[in-house]
Amino acid sequence: MRFVLATYGSRGDVEPMAGLAVRLRALGARVRVCAPPDFAELLDDSGVPLSPVGWPIHALATGAVPGKAGLSDIAAELTAMAYEAVTGAAEGPAAVVATGSFPAVAGARAAAEKLGVPYVYTSLSPCYLPSSHHPPLRRPGQVIPPEVTGNRELWDLHAENTEALFGETINTHRASVGLPPVSGVRDHVFTGHPLLAADPVLGPWQETPELDVTQTGAWIRPDERPLPAGLETFLAAGPKPVYVGFGSMLIRDANAQEASRAVIEAVRTQGRRVLLGSGWADLTAIDDRDDCFVVGEVNQQALFPRVAAVVHHGGAGTTATAARAGAPQVIVPQVADQPYWAGRVTDLGIGTEHTGPTPTTDSLSAALKIVLAPETAARATDVAGTIRTDGADQAAKLLLDMIGRSESAPSAD
């Protein structure tokens, strides 16, 4: 049995697919991942072949792709690039599992239709899926008419806006590859039976008439890499530090030096050592004091149980890894589903949401006082024992069973 897993986005979109790929391969399936070229090393380390999709995500996010400033141009090319990557990777009967950027997922669905194979949409966060229990995420600058107040009405508006943004682009591409047009592109891409790859404690799904959702738990890629020797030395040299890192995020309204100074001084005001994850925000030391250490990309599964708290952007993967490690969290949300995860860690009592997207010494220090309190640490430890670790395994078994039943079903001819 063969699967093509397609995504276009940051590391938080690719890691879950790598986790699923590892489990599918362990169960005897053949797997190829279509993802941005930035993640060739990650997938190679997982033993999973990569079919590159589109531009490097870092270049696109930082405006380093010439002539790609308009949403319509980017969406049209991403749809076509994902379609081409998936059809090129299929090599015979396959099922397509997709997540990430909406235009890219639309291209993956079109590829599955053209190939005549099953397609499964996956959300990494409950807040992306239509439900009467919660409103949709607001786009930056979006104005909601005052008469639109209920969750269902807000999701209807979300469907209309998605159609206005992407409907023509997606249908133009479908026509170019010989597929009929679709109406209601959001529901077409999401389908009526999506998977939800999120932990049921961290991101619970409430049953709703809108969708038949199967929640599997988060898809975690086991990371066996040792921590760098210099980091091990730093960890052993004193009390647990506070880790601060924003992954594949730039810090809004702050340059690297400003952000670095703010977070380092905030941690120092709490009498703690600081461990900086440089990331796309380019966090760096501001002096030569030995209470600060800077690391690049690192095994968070091994690191987070050894820190006093984690300050991060609120990506689904980082949130789950910190929760699983029992590390209290300060989330400084920037975009997308990050405010949702910030709200969840606050509601669970395992951390707090930072006020605003740009940390200052005073604002981050105030948040750290909350998460470094003994009661927050105790609550984080309690919740850690409830976080599922078998989400990717559950999803792999479900997909193998689903595709097996599909292949064995009698033909309608």
Least confident of 34-48, 112-126, 321-335, 369-383: 34-48
In this structure, are 149 and 12 located in the same domain?
yes
Percent of the chain whose pLDDT exceeds 90: 79
In this structure, are 359 and 399 located in the same domain?
no
Query: 110 lies in a domain?
Result: yes
Whose tokens are 């079919």? That residue is 51
Least confident of 49-63, 72-86, 266-280, 306-320: 49-63
For residue 179, give its domain range: 2-220+389-408
In this structure, are 155 and 57 located in the same domain?
yes
Beta bridge partners of 42: none
Instruction: Give the model's confidence band at 413: pLDDT under 50 very low, under 70 low, under 90 confident, else very high.
Output: very low
In this structure, are 215 and 71 located in the same domain?
yes
In this structure, are 204 and 320 located in the same domain?
no
Residue 376 has pLDDT above 80, yes or no: yes
User: What is the structure's pLDDT at 66?
Assistant: 63
Instruction: Give the model's confidence band at 253: pLDDT under 50 very low, under 70 low, under 90 confident, else very high.
Output: low
**In 116-201, beta strands by DSSP E:** 119-123, 195-196
CA 366 – CA 330 distance, rounded (Å): 10
What number is the average pLDDT over the span 399-412?
68
56 φ/ψ sector (left φ>0, alpha ψ -120 to 50, else beta): beta
Q: Which of 256, 356, 350, 348 is nearest to 313 (CA)?
A: 356
Query: 91 lies in a domain?
Result: yes
CA 249 – CA 242 distance, rounded (Å): 19
In this structure, are 90 and 216 located in the same domain?
yes
Instruction: Give the model's confidence band at 411: pLDDT under 50 very low, under 70 low, under 90 confident, else very high.
Output: very low
In this structure, are 41 and 137 located in the same domain?
yes
Residue 408 has pLDDT above 60, yes or no: no
Query: 413 lies in a domain?
Result: no
What number is the average pLDDT over the span 338-351?
97
Residue 71 has pLDDT above 70, yes or no: yes
In this structure, are 215 and 244 located in the same domain?
no
In this structure, are 112 and 150 located in the same domain?
yes
Percent of the chain whose pLDDT exceeds 70: 96
Query: 58 lies in a domain?
Result: yes
In this structure, are 166 and 82 located in the same domain?
yes
Query: 205 lies in a domain?
Result: yes
Query: 210 lies in a domain?
Result: yes
- How far lies 151's CA from each of 160, 247, 255, 263, in Å? 14, 31, 37, 37
Instruction: Give the model's confidence band at 412: pLDDT under 50 very low, under 70 low, under 90 confident, else very high.
Output: very low
CA 36 – CA 42 distance, rounded (Å): 11
In whole numbers, what is the pLDDT of the chain averaged over residues? 92
Q: Which tens digits make up the pLDDT trace of 207-250?
A: 998 899 999 999 999 999 999 999 999 999 999 999 999 987 77
User: What is the structure's pLDDT at 68?
Assistant: 58
Query: 288 lies in a domain?
Result: yes
Beta bridge partners of 330: 311, 352
Residue 199 has pLDDT above 90, yes or no: yes
The CATH number that applies at residue 103 is 3.40.50.2000
- Amino acid letter for position 304: F
In this structure, are 206 and 310 located in the same domain?
no
Residue 369 has pLDDT above 50, yes or no: yes
Q: Which tens digits make up the pLDDT trace of 130-164?
A: 999 999 988 777 788 888 889 999 999 999 999 99
Residue 169 has pLDDT above 50, yes or no: yes
DSSP labels for 27-72?
TT-EEEEEE-GGGHHHHHHTT--EEE-SS-HHHHHTT-STT--SHH
Domain count, the chain: 2
In this structure, are 237 and 299 located in the same domain?
yes
